[in-house]
Structure 1
Amino acid sequence: MKIGIIGGGAAGFFAAIQAKTNYPESTVIILEKSKKLLAKVKVSGGGRCNVTNSTPSISELSKAYPRGGKQLKKLFQEFSNEHTLEWFTSRDVALYAQDDRRVFPVSNDSQSIIDCLMAEVNQLDISIKMDTAVKKLEATVEGINVFFDDVNSVFFNKVIVASGGSPKKDGLRWLEKLGHEIVTPVPSLFTFNMPKEKIKSLMGVSVENATTKIQGEKLIGNGPLLITHWGMSGPAVLSLSSFGARLLADKNYQFNLQVNWTNEQSQEVVREGIQAIISEHGQKQLQNMRPYNLPSSLWLYLLNKVELPLVQKWDEIGKKGVHKLIEVLANDVYEVSGKTTFKEEFVTCGGVSLNSVNMKTLESKHLPGLYFAGEVLDIDAITGGYNFQAAWTTGFVAGKLK
């Protein structure tokens, strides 16, 4: 059997390894359109490679996927994050989990992951062809012809498409022509630009636990929030951009962001917290008593924003002052205008619709012998190693060629 893998990224490599492991007598060839292999693996996690996430249950793991979580829940039974940890550690790649459950190689170098995958491919005698862009696929009686231009093609009995996310629908036309439904790609996992907001002057300041909301919508993000020189980033923003990817695209990335710096569920709880400070530390100046352990520069910024004097004593702020503090702490509003890609980790929401795929085997419903793995599918996740986990899982399942 001749098996073609389109794409030399994480999902492509893993699919190739599984296919060759499952069918040792077969010929497996990876076709990569660029001059680089495993490019995203190289840059992920600031060059450390965030391999997966150590979330303890499949149920919890699947919640990290705004698109595809329900379907992945079943696929995780076959290859979960625990299987990923086992797979790499059994090949002498030591891994560790941070407090936030993101998993990295102990070397803190993505090259460890690349070397492991390359070694496996070489050991299994899997071929790699670089600079080989696929233009179209054509069904035959026994399999699929893969065309590199209008004339030149190679026959494969089975093909796994792991070509990654495409920023535009045009990049997926060749799959649409086969009858697959394509969900128009839009960016996911991006940071928020705030060109008009003065808070940018606090770049580098972070809050450990904030809650974010798009004004007028139900979506909520939470976790650490980082102020940057262009606006805001960190998990509280990135998760919101992921779950709200299509909504924010429809808004053309122009909206108001509500920030709750306290992470408290209700404003009443914030009110009680402020009253407690007034009771216990009423004689202290506002600038010297920070609620919720907020960074000093942020607290001073918020006081200036609501025009409360830094030297005023807590027991002198009155009802109006209490109200101002509740609003700025629990319902602070910033104008967002545009987005910035999160590091080099470009992720798309969209791709081949899961309706076009048998989600037990990842085989196409339109072309027998054609399978999908990785981000070419309409599957994506929040930041934290989840997108790589989807690549390992779908690569593993597609590589069964069932």
Structure 2
Amino acid sequence: MFDIDKWQEIFATIKKNKMRTFLTGFSVAWGIFMLMILLGAGNGLSNGVSENFMRDAVNAMWLWSGRTSIPYKGMQENREIRFTNADYDILKDLEGIEHTSGRYYIGGNLFSYGSEYGEYSAITCHPDLKDVESIEIVEGRFVNQVDIDQTRKSVVLGKDIYDALFDGKEAVGEYVRVNNIPFKVVGICKEGGGTRHRNAYIPVTTGQKVFNGSNRLHNFALTINAETIEESQAIENRVRERLARKHKFDATDESAMGSYSKLEDVIQTMKIFQAIDIFIWIIGIGTLIAGVVGVSNIMLIVVKERTKEIGIRKAIGASPASVIGLILLEAVMITTIAGYIGLVLGTGLMEGLNFIVEKQFEASAATNGGNGETLFRNPTVDLGIALSATLLLVIAGAIAGYIPAKRAAKIKPIEALRDE
């Protein structure tokens, strides 16, 4: 391999056929360049969608009440189903449920502090809502169990509400008025599922008492102990059957009780991306194979052009192994250098694209109160995958060169000398 005479011959051959060598190397470089672009783009899309899913708990489930659409045990359809605090007590102890929060909406509320005011949504909830909806506490704390038990007039302001009412001043410990009723600010938060932070959170018992909600709950936010679609559906069916018995409606009536399981969407989406990854690898490897076949064809042409030279070598004592080594080394060198160039260009382009995406993400986060959204994030290729692709390319180059090299080794000197 380190025989200087061999390298001189290889470089002389390459120099003699510059355009042919360039086009051969370009096909290999283009193959691995496209593989890196496809893998990076696939990773970017997968990362972006995954990050958006992570804004709420991945295993979150939401339940809401409606009106029956199926008659049940002699009762007519179109009956209104109303969730209550008793349903919360049922759900929080049900097998497979991790975190539970009932929610009672108080829409179109006037918030005021000093001379500042605005209309925002107030949501009464239990402490577990923080875990279900991945609510980030910027300052202070979230609603706690003491607030619930003592029906405290506590409120956690969304960041947009805080900015509008307090404009950077200290808020925790101050009192804001919600529909002219004073509530003590105990925290400031950002909502995990969006870029607008215009909700305020109040203890559910306080909201029901102050705003005439009685024991009413509009919906439930849960996290479930499930890792598969089947486990998620089993828990959902258990919840439906339990609440259907209590409220006397058909458990299959989705109009009476609607539900949404985020875990099922996450699993199905990830399966789609796994299929996309496989498709990308098939396309990328196919492109690489096309380049490697090009190398093999060019090496066959080289062998044909150098038939007489190879015959003279063998006539003066060159072994078949030395002939194979010469052709093989040239093929490996072309594929390795061209492949490395394609690898560097591909990964470099994706790193540059990642830099631009991150800058745009930071700008979006700054514009939207620190919670940027994107469907494309970190479109880079893992170093291990890049190195594996390079190794695969070197092996492919060796295979591409071996076939014409083996043919060259079988040439008989007398036949080679007769070749024109």
TM-score where L is the length of structure 2: 0.22
TM-score where L is the length of structure 1: 0.22
Higher strand proportion: 1
Higher helix proportion: 2
